[in-house]
Amino acid sequence: MMIQPDWVQEAWDQTKAKVKRISRRIGDGFPHASVNGEYQLEQPSWWTAGFWPGILWLVYRDTKDNDLKEAAESCERQLDALLTDSEMVDHDIGFMWTLTSGARYKLLGSEDSKKRALLAANLLAARFNIQGNYIRAWNGEHMAGWAIIDCLMNLPLLYWASSVTGDPRYKHIAVKHADTVLQQFYRPDGSVAHIIVFDPETGEKLEVKGGQGYSPESAWSRGTAWAIYGMSLSYHYTGNQHYLDAAKRTAHFFLANLPEDQVPTWDFRTPQGKSSVRDSSAGACAACGLLLLADQVDGLEAEMYLKSGEKILHSLYMNYGAWDSEAEEGLILHGTSHFPEQKNVDVPLIYGDYYFVEGISILKGVKERFW
Ligand code: GLY
């Protein structure tokens, strides 16, 4: 049984109070990065649209605060127009509907949310390239062959769709994509590439791209976190040992490369002195993956993953949390969205906040995840 460390209740209380406070301004908006203390709001089509409603549901699950529920439901409804416009969405359909319709269906059993999430799963499944066995990441003619590591976190929507419909085709697509990630993105040391370009006609692997990492050979820390959590989720849904082994391998690579305060730099493999800029969002996401791994193994191994996840979340709470400042809407400071393009570097990010809140709720003893 998980024993709750003393600081966890305090962190959860701070989280609930802050989410309630910032919800008064953000309401049913779609925050992404906090600049000068205020979350910038995006269009519902931006890939991060699920994270704020996801936070609202995580807090609502505990508090039953109706204002938070209504804001989350309004966010979900605003995504509806995208379900009939496949040019407006990309593979991040998974992130977007898992944390809106998927979460509402899991919490409230709402049939309208189930229908929306299934429509979203159909859109995601339609992005599968049968020649290359990958889910296409982005739109635009020149990107028909691009697949990215982040997509592992979109697969739970497909696994879920198979489980509620009884139709295994969604799961088959998820498994084919996850197998391609093992074969093409994984390196022997457990680190992963960000972008792989395939020939969309033949499925042949053409190129590795650095993407949001420093270079094609480097180790972008958020991509590493997507792989830890994504592979452990694929193991959760399939029981395929290869996915568990891969999640562990990446977890060990991640943990071995953490600085003393347990929060990763934006890329683990940059030339000496190039950058020590952190990405707290990678730490928060990896921590959630480590907590899932802890449930998937036994004994000392489970304890090691649990303690590792706890240590990251504790450091985020103590050293990166913006709890005292009324002038900052972000929960967790020092996230990095896109270092190579210098976009939203060293700022709070809504997905960092989301995974922090999810991680604390798990340490509080909640077992059910929205993924
Ligand atoms: N999925 C995009 C990112 O991690 O920034």
Q: Which atom of ligand 1 is nearest to the CA of 223?
A: 4
pLDDT tens digits for 54-92?
999 999 999 999 999 999 999 999 999 999 998 999 999
Separation between Cα atoms, residue 156 and residue 161, nearest integer Å: 8
Question: Active-site residue among 28, 90, 150, 279?
Answer: 150
Separation between Cα atoms, residue 245 and residue 242, nearest integer Å: 5
pLDDT at 270: 95
Annotation marks residue 13 as catalytic? no
> Ligand 1, atom 2: nearest CA belongs to which residue?
150
pLDDT tens digits for 13-30?
999 999 999 999 999 999
If one residue of 42, 46, 47, 195 were mutated to test the ligand 1 pocket, choosing by the most ligand atoms within 8 A of its CB, it would be 47
Q: Which atom of ligand 1 is nearest to the CA of 153?
A: 1
Helices (H) and strands (E) in the chain, counts: 13, 9
Ligand 1 centre to CA of 4 (Å) is 31
Whether the CB of 279 sits within 6 Å of ligand 1:
no
Ligand 1 centre to CA of 3 (Å) is 33
Annotation marks residue 65 as catalytic? no
Give me the torsion for CA of 221, 217, 46, 323, rounded to 10°: 20
Q: Which helix (H) or strand (E) holds 164?
A: helix 155-165
| Nearest residue to 149 via CA among 223, 201, 95 | 223
What is the DSSP track for 194-262?
SEEEE-TTT--EEEEE-TTSSSTTS-BHHHHHHHHHHHHHHHHHH--HHHHHHHHHHHHHHHHT--TTS
pLDDT at 366: 96
pLDDT at 191: 98
Ligand 1 centre to CA of 221 (Å) is 11
pLDDT at 318: 98
pLDDT tens digits for 82-126?
999 989 999 999 999 999 999 999 999 999 999 999 999 999 999
Counting as low any pLDDT under 70, the low residues of the chain are 1-2
All domains of the chain in start order, with CATH = 6-363 (1.50.10.10)
CA contacts within 13 A on the Cβ side of 78: 19
pLDDT at 275: 82
pLDDT at 1: 60
